[in-house]
Structure 1
C-alpha cells in the first residue's frame, strides 16, 4: 500500500479502524465482553498490530509505539 501521507516516513503510519468481533479468532472473541467495541491498530500493509477497547486508546497505543495514527474505514 502506498502511504498517502508524504510527511510520514515509510513504515511509521498506523491505520485505526473498528473491528467486527465476529471476524476475530474464537480465542480472542471469548475474551471480548458482549456488546463491546474492538478497535485495531494496523500497519501500512494492513497487518493488525494491536486490539483495543476504544478508538482513543488505539490512537494512544500507536503514538506510544512511534507510529502516526490515522483513521481508516
Structure 2
C-alpha cells in the first residue's frame, strides 16, 4: 500500500490555461527587480538604464503593471488598479 501511495500522481483540478488565469485582475505581486531582468523578460518595454533596481508590481500572469524606484508608488498603483498585493522576495 505504501508503495502505491508513492507512485500516485496528483493532478491539478485546473487546466494550464485556467491556472494561468487564477487571480487575473484581482491579485498582483510585488518584488524588487533589476532593469536588466525586465529588459530580457519584457523586450517591449522602453529602454532603461541597465543595473538599476526597481520595485515592480506584476499581474497574476506575470506581466508588469507598475514600475517605480519607490515601493510606496507601487502600492498606490495596486490600489488604483484595485488589486490585492503579495510580496515576493
Normalising by structure 2, report the TM-score.
Answer: 0.57
Partner residue, 2:29? 15
Q: Per the alignment, in what secondary structure is the counterpart of residue 82 of structure 2?
A: coil
Partner residue, 1:54? 70
For 1:2-59, what per-residue CA distance to the aligned partner results, in whole angstroms no more than 9, with x for missing partners?
76xxxxxx320110011112223384314x8xx8531111011111112111212111
Q: For this pair of structures, how many residues does the alignment match?
A: 64
Normalising by structure 1, report the TM-score.
Answer: 0.67
Could you say which structure has the larger radius of gyration? 2
Structure 2 unaligned blocks of 5 or more: 1-18
| Runs of 4+ with >4 A deviation | none
